[in-house]
Amino acid sequence: MGSYVYRRYPYRRPTELDGGSRRRPIVIVGAGIAGPTLALALAARGVASVVLDEDDSVSNGSRSICQAKHSLEVWDRFGIAQRMVDKGITWEQGEVYLHDRPIYHFDLAPEPGHKFPAFVNLQQYYVEEYLFDRCLAEKLIELRFRNKVVGVRPGPDSVSVDVETPDGRYALEAGWLVACDGVRSTVRHLLDLPFPGEVFHDQFLIADIRFTSEQPKERRFWFYPPFHPTNSVLLHRQADNVLRVDFQLGRDADPEEEKKPANVDRRLRQMFGPDATWEHEWTSVYTFTCRMMERFVEGRVIFAGDAAHVVSPFGARGGNAAVADVDNLAWKLARVLAGSSPVSLLDSYCSERRAAARENILNSTRSTDFITPKFPASRAFRDATLALARDFPFARTLVNSGRLSVPTVQPGSPLDTPDGDADWLRGPAPGSAMVDAPVANGDGGFLIDHVGPGFTLLSFAPRTADLPELPAGVAGLMVAREGPAPAGWTALRDRDGLVRQRYDGRAGTAYLIRPDRYVAARWRRPDTTELAAALRRSTGHG
Amino acid sequence: MAEAASGALRRTLNLGRPDEVYNAIVDAHRDLNDEQCRAFDAGLILLLANHVGDAGVIGEALAAARSSLEGGSR
């Protein structure tokens, strides 16, 4: 059954059972999206890790299907993003319906001049498969299946982890333990840490179906459709001719009744007409919660992804936030392990990603409130918005079935240096993610291809002689008009002028970019002292 | 779709932070009963109408809101 064949990944007897060393710098719990991404991001910086997972396969069901641009950019560093783009669905047109009538059409054609589109729809099991493949090929990563964490004992400089396997129990001594083990985090439960938040009672039904006749070419959102008149229905395309149909069921529906194939099929038949044929892939009734831990770092235990925070699914902020979490964490952890930054650098992981989680919860709650209004006036405004949307384009902007996940802005982070110059017309300010642009260089067609795993200084100095002095350990990118690249610098050719445009890159302008591709500081004319100060601040020495 | 030739009522987006404004309006009704909602909306409309000032624009908005009732809920 189903278009996806679930592989079983091999279990290997851990060496600790036979007296091998128990000491590991990094132990990651959970091989979902966050765990393997973190392991790869650490490996890219020369840091070894062990990933423990109680299961031996990928995600059961399509689950997190919208892979956002910023996640693809992270995965591209491991060479697996293009595989996702090739397999997934990129370009999306769609139609919004009210009752039985289409009210407007939308077209999410990607903005040109970026390596990756705003998002790709791809089932979570493919994302995990590609991550697992890549991890299994990486010497610095040990991916241990059927290794279940049953005990966690935090110490001052390490964490003891008890692990159960088919061959018995063993203990690891982890320098740092990173819990990427999902919303029901075992590590969080074992440490008895609170997970406060809000419970929502609306029920939704996901039906993943694979069309055996021609599938609809468009994405569709229905409000009050004739086949489900009291509520809304969202439809998303996925790879392999699979569609996700997301029915809002309301608070009082009986999930077992709704899940019965005959009941799902009756609605689908009304949606797709008498000639359509399909097979069921996965059906699930869900409710959701919005929760966030008070601290993402507890001594030597760190939480990331759904283990640390959860949101409603609207707006694709689960999996994508998990990737952003571990991208934020990996370089900081690598620096702390190497002794090049103080342990307190990890406090910024907590503050930056908690701020991001708050923003994600706000955004997804707004979408949820639009799809399932909580009080009569809220419903009246929602319905008025829909009624105006056919004739008034402004109202279409207000229709909120989920806002695209974009990198959150982290203003006021202690790692970033606020603008000193006041004449910026555009360009990513400190605390914002860098933006991509095309460049004409032999080994890469885009700016993001040239940003490595460390800090980067992007300079628009007109001549080589005007380049700022490069601090130790920082890679230089020069968008210079003339002159060869000196040692430490790579010359970029601004093929379409879009690098200058997107960064407001006037002569002398420079951006200091963090390893997670956030802008740490920018200047019209940096001097050596300012540059050194910004770098100190960004590496936790500020 | 072109701006309506017939009038001056703006049809395209004019809000800098649309989601924020929309949710601020909705949330302002959260703890009000039906009667209070009506009174609140009446006050809000009059304030905004005064700010807009142009009788022609307000007349167009009234007509548009009226005709959207037919295409709306139920």
- 3-state secondary structure string, A337-379? HHCCCCCCHHHHHHHHHHHHHHHHHHHHHHHHHHHCCCCHHHH
What is the pLDDT at residue A270?
87
Q: Is the pLDDT of residue A1 over 80?
A: no
Question: Each residue of A214-264: pLDDT tens digit?
Answer: 888 788 899 999 988 888 999 999 999 999 999 999 888 898 898 898 999
φ/ψ of A149, rounded to 5, equals -75, 125
A494 DSSP 8-state letter: -
Residue A108's pLDDT band (cuts 50, 70, 90): confident
Mean pLDDT, rounded, for A358-371: 92
Q: Are A193 and A264 in contact (CB under 8 A)?
A: no
pLDDT in tens, A413-469: 999 999 999 999 999 999 999 999 999 876 569 999 999 999 999 999 988 888 999
Residue B2: predicted pLDDT: 38
Q: What pLDDT sits at residue A8? A: 95
The Cα–Cα gap between A459 and A507 comes to: 9
Residue B24 contacts A where some CB pair is shorter than 8 Å = no
Tell me the CB-side half-sphere exposure of residue A424, using CA atoms within 13 A.
20
Give the pLDDT confidence score for residue B73 in this predicted structure: 44
pLDDT of residue A312: 87
A393 touches chain B (CB under 8 A): yes
> Which two structure tokens, joined as six digits, stand for B9?
């009522």
Domains of chain A, each with CATH number or no CATH: 15-88+116-196+290-365 (3.50.50.60), 201-287 (3.30.9.10), 438-538 (3.40.30.10)
Q: What's residue A442's pLDDT?
A: 65
Average pLDDT of chain A? 93
Q: How far apart, in Å, are the Cα atoms of A73 and each of A78, A510, B65? A: 9, 22, 44
Cβ(A233)–Cβ(A245) under 8 Å?
A: yes
Token couple for A126: 């493919």
Distance of CA A102 to the CA centre of its chain: 32
Contacts of A397 in chain B (CB under 8 A): 13, 15, 18
Q: Helices marked H in A58-100 — which ranges?
A: 69-76, 81-87
Q: Measured between alpha carbons, how far is B56 from B8 in angstroms, rounded to an integer?
A: 7
Interface ipTM > 0.95: no
Q: Which residues from B are below 8 Å from A224, CB to CB?
A: 73
Cα–Cα dist A118/A444, whole Å: 20
Report the residue of A368, A394, A401 to disrupt the B interface, i.e. the one with the largest count of B CBs within 10 Å: A394
Percent of chain A with pLDDT over 70: 99
Q: Does B22 sit within 8 Å of A381, measured CB to CB?
A: yes
Which range has the worst mean pLDDT, A18-32, A316-330, B58-72? B58-72
With residue B37 as reference, give the H or E element that holds it.
helix B34-52
Determine contact: B64 vs chain A, CB below 8 A. Answer: yes
Is the pLDDT reported for residue B5 higher than 60? no
Q: Are A305 and A326 in contact (CB under 8 A)?
A: yes
Query: Contacts of residue B22 in chain A, CB cutoff 8 Å?
Result: 381, 385, 398, 400
Q: Which of A231, A363, A375, A396 is the mutation pick for testing B, counting most B CBs within 10 A?
A: A375
Given a cut of 80, whether residue B1 has pLDDT beyond it is no
Residues 6+ apart with CB under 8 A from B36: none
Task: List, edge to edge, every strand of the sheet that includes A519-523.
Answer: A489-491, A474-478, A455-459, A510-513, A519-523
Q: How far apart are CA B8 and CA B69, in angstroms?
A: 21
Contacts of B68 in chain A (CB under 8 A): 384, 387-388, 391
The confidence score (pLDDT) of residue A111 equals 84
Q: How far apart are CA B71 and CA A388, in angstroms?
A: 8
Closest CA to A325 of A516, A197, A149: A516
Q: Give residue A183's Cα distance to chain centre.
A: 15
pLDDT averaged over every residue in chain B = 88
CB contact under 8 A, A388 and B26: no
Tokens for A158, please give them. Answer: 């390490």
pLDDT at B4 over 60: no
User: Under 8 Å CB-to-CB from A358, ≥6 apart: which residues?
Assistant: A292
**CA–CA distance, A462 with A439 (Å, rounded to integer):** 17
**Torsion angle (degrees, nearest 10) of CA A109, A493, A406, A537:** -170
The model's pTM is 0.94
Give me the pLDDT at residue A38, please.
98
pLDDT, mean of residues A492-521: 96
Task: Return the domain boundaries, chain B.
Answer: 18-71
User: Is the pLDDT score of A513 beyond 70?
Assistant: yes
Q: What is the pLDDT of residue A402?
A: 84
Contact residues for B4 (Cβ-Cβ < 8 A; gap 6+): B11, B60
**Of A501, A376, A489, which is closest to residue A436 (Cα–Cα)?**
A501
Q: Mutate which of B11, B12, B19, B33 to disrupt the A interface (most A C-beta within 10 Å)?
A: B19
